[in-house]
Amino acid sequence: MEVCYQLPVLPLDRPVPKHVLSRRGAISFSSSSSLFGAPDPRQLSQRRGAISYDSSDQTALYIRMLGDVRVRSQVGFEPERRSSHQYLCIDFRTLHGEFETLTSFLQGIKIEVLLSFQRYLHSSRLLRGLPQQIPLHILDEDYTGQARCMLEKVGNWNFDIFLFNKLTNGNSLINLTFHLLNQYGLIELFQLDMVKLWRFLVMVQEDYHNDNPYHNAVHAADVTQAMYCFLQEPMLSKSLTSCDILLGLLAAATHDLDHPGVNQPFLIKTNHYLATLYRNTSVLENHHWKSAVGLLRETGLFSHLPPEDSRNMEADLGSLILATDISRQNDYLSRFRRHLDQDDLCLSNASHRHFVLQMALKCADICNPCRPWELSKQWSEKVTEEFFQQGDIEKKHKLEISPVCDRASNTVGNIQIGFMTYVAEPLFVEWARFSDTRLSQTMLGHMGLNKASWGSLQQEQSSAEVPFEEKSELKNETRSIQTLAGLLLSDAVLHLY
């Protein structure tokens, strides 16, 4: 089991080593566990991505860096419980010994992502003095043949992100995002330092929790690939600027950064520090945005840009990520409908382009029901399992079980049918009005087939469990409550994704 160790604080009168100050700071607020401890709110100003991102106090920076190093071990450490709730606790263990001992200990840890990047540095065409090309074909030597072939069809809606993740040894988000930025020529256009960019993407992937069944780096990669498909649509491809495209891809890659695996109502009812920090409003989305900005500043990816441009890009990135708050789905959808009804969307207008980019990211975020059945079914099972895990935690600690989170009274099928009917379908119908292309019709077609498939599975399951003489009575009862159940379900799922 992965645990988080708090390392000893350096004495204030001891100078901070220069090599330490050049290293990255705290990895994230949370541990890799699906639940995490809640620190004292007074400490938030000393954590990356909370209230402030930087500090002139080098000792504080050093302490912050040491406070979130993750290592694996089973013996030799005494646990220290930190939590404001008995059901929100993980073990934070104190490592005893000198800093030199720690350094030698950490050097023995195998970090495959970083080692892979070192191989990339040595084999890069750029480092061998070959001239730059557009796009820069610098990633070929790091991919297997199969992964490279998949990237040649990255704009295909049937793209299998699960297979691509296996072919890239679990690094789908890094490789896919780098490839797309490179393919658009954005690396050279914005003069992005490739080492900083790769480091940024590695840190982004690290900050997703792989033990979340759904909200993990593979989901982020899937949303990024879907976003690319939408950016290729004629209505957008001929109107969006290079800055729009850069922000759209980065927002897709970071839109669920450091997701804890539980929803906003759970954080609010357990008085979690994030809910307090963001005043119970778009709690997770604000955290994703601030975490992304923290990584941008930590890596200095945009440090070469004028300060005003850099700040504007951070704000626009936040506006895109905040749009993925599905509890505000109806607000965005109503505005989108009004624009389409009045036919007044003007993509030469920067604010209108940004709004369309928000809608594209919203579609990419919940496009799972629109994928082919083999992919859609896997995503449905994963997101439902994450709901059920939250319900198990709530049941264990005698909390009120959130809607659709009780595995004893819900199934994957009924949750997905409700989500498609009341959330996904209205959004994608309007998107098809805006961009009436083969892709939008394909997505609606897949959604209809997937909905029917879940209905058939539900019917088969019910037939296997219910005696024949009771089937007709249950059928009539089911029809009479479908409307009410659907309305309740739609309201519930809005708070879960």
Q: Is 156 annotated as a binding residue?
A: no
Q: Is 255 annotated as a binding residue?
A: yes
Q: Is 142 annotated as a binding residue?
A: no
Q: Is 252 annotated as a binding residue?
A: no
Q: Is 20 annotated as a binding residue?
A: no
With beta carbons less than 8 A apart as the criterion, state whether 230 and 437 touch: no
Q: Is 137 a catalytic residue?
A: no
Q: Is 215 annotated as a binding residue?
A: yes
Q: Is 210 annotated as a binding residue?
A: no
From 179, 209, 215, 272, active-site residue: 215
Q: Is 365 annotated as a binding residue?
A: yes
Q: Is 491 annotated as a binding residue?
A: no
Residues forming the active site: 215
Binding residues for Zn(2+): 219, 255-256, 365
Binding residues: 215-219, 255-256, 365, 416
Binding residues for AMP: 215-219, 256, 365, 416
